[in-house]
Chains A and B, each alone.
Chain A
Amino acid sequence: MTDSESQQEGAQPAAKPVYFHDPALQALYQMVLVLGEELAATREQLHALIALSEDGVVPTAEAIERFIPRDDFDTERADWVARLLEPLEQIARSRESS
């Protein structure tokens, strides 16, 4: 591959270490994150839809895109991620008690 061709594709991220005896477990973490992200996107849209409806605005796709949530909605986002990651703490606690 010439320099020019390789720059068109650019550099590719290096392979990452696998920490589990069964590599599928690492893939499962990735799948959970993707599901979490998708749910977060859906929650964002649902929040916009409900807020617009409560304000008597027709929740068109354009209105949803334009909608800016209140700052305190970020606390809800943080709480949801904290709940998702709670088992991490449980892993650590189970080692301490064993």
Chain B
Amino acid sequence: MNPKPAEMNRSTVHALSPAQSCRDRGRQSFIFHTKRQLGQFARTVLQGEFNEPFESGDGEMAAADATALMSKRPAFAAWSALNIGSQQQMWRALGDMIKRQSSSLAEAASAIDASSGAGSLTLNSDLPMPAYFQSTAYHGQPGGYCLDRGEDDWLAGALQEAGGTLYSRGAGTGARDSKGQAVVRFIEQTFPDFRPGSIVDLGCGYGGQTANYALAFPEAQTHGVDLGPGLLRYAHLRATALGLPIHYRQACASQTEFADESVDLVVSNILLHEIPADLLADVMRESYRIVKPGGLVVHQDVPTQKQDTPAFQQWLSQWQVAHNDEPFWQSFADTSVPEALIAAGFDEADTFEAYQPQVDGPLVWYMAGARKS
């Protein structure tokens, strides 16, 4: 077991972290720099081309028309082809790195005595998998989050952690960034008196953010919930290796099986834009059902809400839908999370929306939630 780290972020190393060979480093650096420079190209050249019709007096031009215009521009076509290609390359390079070390990583997993830790893993092989979850390879991740090749398989979690790190670094995020820490900072700044005794992280994935909550609130009992068994096996091994007592459970975020009003803090990190709109409403109802009176719900996600988003960013969001296996990105952008919270039962006066800076990066995160009366 590793000593418990002081903080968890994109550079946290643990027993299941694959070793990067010299070739891996060369391949991944190439992908990283390609993504960075394509991002820079989008923010300068493409944004300029996109805004041209608006600036040249065609002020009435709709964003949809601008999108149609852009799709005919050679620079946009080339940029799209390179972006699609770099994402495919990323998964290939990371998959090669992990699979090459499958024996040594399996040994490392075996050496983690998962039963010795204070955490737990509860899988449910009878749990029906929603069709959307089985058919979406989020961000092009091979196999998606539902990948489950057997009772010891945790490849989905390993790919999600490695892919999330390289992708976000390429998008400008620093090595010390952490979405969970951003939520913790938001809570500390907005609700300084709040100290949860129990936490549920909905759609916890590989457990990177759940670990942050366990570290920030060591007196709390921390739970992670997800549908993907391969994600949860990895999350459980990872938490055990890091000495964190986290309880992982396979369940849908809309049916967590926690008792009514039994949880102090309900959180999610970039879950809402990865689920259909009707399920988002169900997740809000479940958040309301399980959170205690006086408890807090915080959902963190991408800042795509229309009222605060320039037309160019909205258009780039649509690009994600068609090109980066993000089928629910647009429906999330069109959703008012506070309205969904109110429809779920929260008082309007108790709901909030906010934007929180990244811990290490130029972006801001969208936060929406409520403190239950």
Q: Point out residues on A near B: beta carbons under 8 Å.
A: 3-4, 6-14, 16-17, 19-20, 25-26, 29-30, 33-34, 36-38, 40-45, 48, 64-65, 67, 74, 77-78, 80-82, 84-85, 88-89, 91-92, 95
Q: Does B336 contact A (CB under 8 A)?
A: no
> For residue A90, which residue of chain B has the nearest CB?
B75
- Chain B residues whose C-beta falls within 8 Å of the C-beta of A43 in the assembled complex: 26
The residue in chain A whose Cβ has the minimal distance to the Cβ of B35 is: A81
Query: In whole Å, how far is A11's beta carbon from the nearest beta carbon of chain B?
Result: 3
Q: Which residue of B lies closest to A36 (CB)?
A: B30
Q: Is B78's CB under 8 angstroms from A29's CB?
A: yes
Q: B146 — which chain A residues lie within 8 A by C-beta?
A: 6-7, 10-11
Decide if A44 touches B22 in the complex (CB within 8 Å): yes
- Cross-chain contact B75 with A16 (CB below 8 angstroms): no
Contacts A/B (CB < 8 Å), 23 sampled: A10-B137, A10-B148, A11-B143, A13-B142, A16-B323, A17-B80, A17-B322, A17-B323, A26-B81, A34-B89, A37-B27, A37-B30, A40-B27, A41-B27, A44-B23, A45-B23, A77-B30, A78-B37, A82-B37, A85-B41, A89-B45, A91-B75, A91-B78
A82 cross-chain contacts in B, Cβ below 8 A: 33, 37
Main secondary structure of the interface of B (DSSP, over half): helix
In the complex with contacts A3-B129, A65-B22, A40-B30 CB distance below 8 A: yes
Interface size class on chain B is 35 or more
Q: Which residue of chain B has its CB nearest to the CB of A86? A: B37
Residues of B within 8 A of A38 (CB): 27
B49 within 8 A of A: yes
In Å, the complex CA distance between A74 and B29 comes to: 8
Judged by a CB distance under 8 angstroms, whether B144 is at the interface is yes
Given contacts A7-B129, A37-B31, A81-B33, contact A95 B86 (CB under 8 A): no
Contact check, B142 vs A10: say whether CB atoms are below 8 A apart.
Answer: yes
B85 touches A40 (CB 8 A): no
Q: Which residues of A contact B26 (CB under 8 A)?
A: 37, 40-45
